[in-house]
Structure 1
Amino acid sequence: MNFNDLIVFKTIYEEKTINKAAKKLGYTQSNLTARLHALENECNTSLFVRSYNGVLATENGEKFYSFVLQTLSQFDELKNSFSKHLPELLTSELLFKYIVVDDQEFSIASTKITCKKTSKIALELNKRHYDYVVTFNKLNRNDFKLVATKDLPVSFLSGKENINDVPVLINSDHLCPLRKLTIKLVENPERLVEIDSLENISQLVLDGQATALLPNYLIKDGYQTIDDRSFSVNYYRYKYCT
């Protein structure tokens, strides 16, 4: 027995004739009759009583019809669960850990998340659909509604104490807000060194080879502030609106 056999039985039951059921399913009448006989043999019972006007379900046929409806319904629910759409979030690498782990605005279990450089966010939105965008830069789009403005706490961090005259790292992404703020705060621009990824910046800082303006959520991961200053950077949460 397979799911097609269940559909065959259901169609015969509802059409009340093998001829109509065969036309609806695209089978020959003889082929459909053979499928029904095979099903009855497997169930070891008669499912229909034949007459000149068509077929009527037996008592066991009525029971089997209830089983078929329940089984096909559960199968549809299972198929729908496989293709269930998860809302999609576009954000930057810098914000990902904060909004998912620390602030718990989103969950990886219930959201499909894509991370891009801040400068690539606008371009990515032209390529595919997203339900949410969390970004440092305001969007100039009619299809997204601003739902919240929040702050990301940041400080100059290092992996070691008493570091002096080490380079100050900035992201090579020119739209990175921490890059902009760092350039504004550092008096000696000769200390600035561009690095092309947040991961590399974070590792160099943790190793004590440099300092950088980074999110305060890293402090619990072994980083420490180099002074008492603390800053905040705005970020914006948008929702797609049809």
Structure 2
Amino acid sequence: MELRQLKSFLKIMEVQSFSGAAKEMGYSQSALSVQIHSLEQELGVKLFDRMGRQVTLTPPGQELARRAQPILQEVDELEGVMHDRPPAAALRLGMIESLCKARMPQMVDYVSRHYPQLHITITIDSPSVLLDAMNHNKVDLVYVLDKPLYDVKWVKVFQRRENIVFVSSIDSPLAARKDIPLEEVIRQPFFLTEKADNYRLSLDQHLAARQLVLDPLLEVSDTGFILDMVQRNLGLSFLPQYVVENSIYRERLQVLSVKDFRMYMYRQLFYHKDKWLTQAMKLFLAMAAGSESRGRGGIRREFAGKNALTLAPDRGV
């Protein structure tokens, strides 16, 4: 059994395709097939079921994947230590737009100064699209806001509740009032995210259950633009509270007190259970967990004295 065979095996498992794995690894499809056939003969088992273009693991293949992943992770880390240099690294994140704007600037600032060799690609989309991309190995980690989501294929790193709120300008007549009737609130001009967005959909469903309808003045996916319109006192919006608190306009905004109305959604961070955890993924997961447990400034404290990661920080920064 050779390391290259195990690497090929895991890559096929990730992309669920012999041709896709061959392309990513720089092999011909026939050469990759020979590697896997040789591995199957040596082990005396069939590792993949091939049904047309679909490739799935057999039970022996699942067991091999479970045991091979930590072995190759150890080899990857050992190679980094032996070469005394951080490996080139890439990280593919899938996020919703509001979380990207609210949570990523601090992390990107830290990474750019301490891990400049790390290349990050962020895909912005809805939770359902991002989770499907994770299932097909198009993103490494998915960070979304939604109702609690579960699947046996996913590892959920954490789940945190977030308030979804009505927001106005501090100059709005509603800003200083308490227990405003919902019916009065939704009669105001509104700037809302598009209907496919999770919290917008939840609002529409809540209103429909009360035989109410909100007809917005404008729908747009850019929460920064929405809050610019709100702070100008041109209308109201309905957004996660963290979006308001992290906005550059936060001093000009007011979360409204609405009678008998509470809505929550949950920030959730996932990776696929069959995904080989790269050093870049481990770094982001630790950073995210550190910021969750320590709040603002938690990233720096979380990583004090933790330069033993293979993805070592640039000590010249």
Q: What TM-score bracket applies, with the shorter chain setting the length?
A: 0.5 to 0.7
> Shift of residue 185 of structure 1?
5.1
* Higher relative contact order, structure no. (Cα contacts within 8 Å, ≥ 6 residues apart): 2
- CA 1:120–1:237 in 2, change beyond 3 Å: closer, same or farther? same
Aligned residues: 166
> Shift of residue 91 of structure 1?
0.9
> Shift of residue 126 of structure 1?
5.5
Structure 2 gap segments, 5+ residues each: 1-81, 113-117, 175-186, 275-317
Give the conservation status (yes or no) of the 8 Å contact 1:155–1:225: no
The residue aligned with 2:192 is 170
- AA matched with 1:85: A
Rounded Cα–Cα distance in structure 1 between residues aligned with 2:133 and 2:200: 21
Structure 1 gap segments, 5+ residues each: 1-75
Matched, 1:225 2:254: yes
Which one has a larger percent strand, Structure 1 or Structure 2? 1
The residue aligned with 1:117 is 126
> Shift of residue 227 of structure 1?
2.2
Rounded Cα–Cα distance in structure 2 between residues aligned with 1:100 and 1:114: 13
Matched, 1:189 2:189: no
Pick aligned residue for 2:226 from 182, 201, 208: 201
The normalised TM-score by structure 1 is 0.52
The residue aligned with 1:100 is 104
Pick aligned residue for 1:87 from 80, 88, 91: 91
Pick aligned residue for 1:134 from 122, 128, 143: 143
Find the structure with the greater CA-based Rg.
Answer: 1
CA RMSD of aligned residues (A): 3.9
> Shift of residue 115 of structure 1?
1.8
Pick aligned residue for 2:268 from 226, 230, 236: 236
3-state SS of paired residue (2:90): coil
Deviations 1:93-130 (CA, angstroms, capped at 9, x unpaired): 0211333247x699664544322234532443366432
- CA 1:94–1:108 in 2, change beyond 3 Å: closer, same or farther? farther
Rounded Cα–Cα distance in structure 2 between residues aligned with 1:128 and 1:205: 38
Rounded Cα–Cα distance in structure 1 between residues aligned with 2:136 and 2:216: 34
Rounded Cα–Cα distance in structure 2 between residues aligned with 1:181 and 1:170: 11
Pick aligned residue for 1:213 from 232, 238, 261: 238
Give the conservation status (yes or no) of the 8 Å contact 1:90–1:130: yes
The normalised TM-score by structure 2 is 0.42
The residue aligned with 1:41 is none
Deviations 1:182-206 (CA, angstroms, capped at 9, x unpaired): 6525964144455131344333223
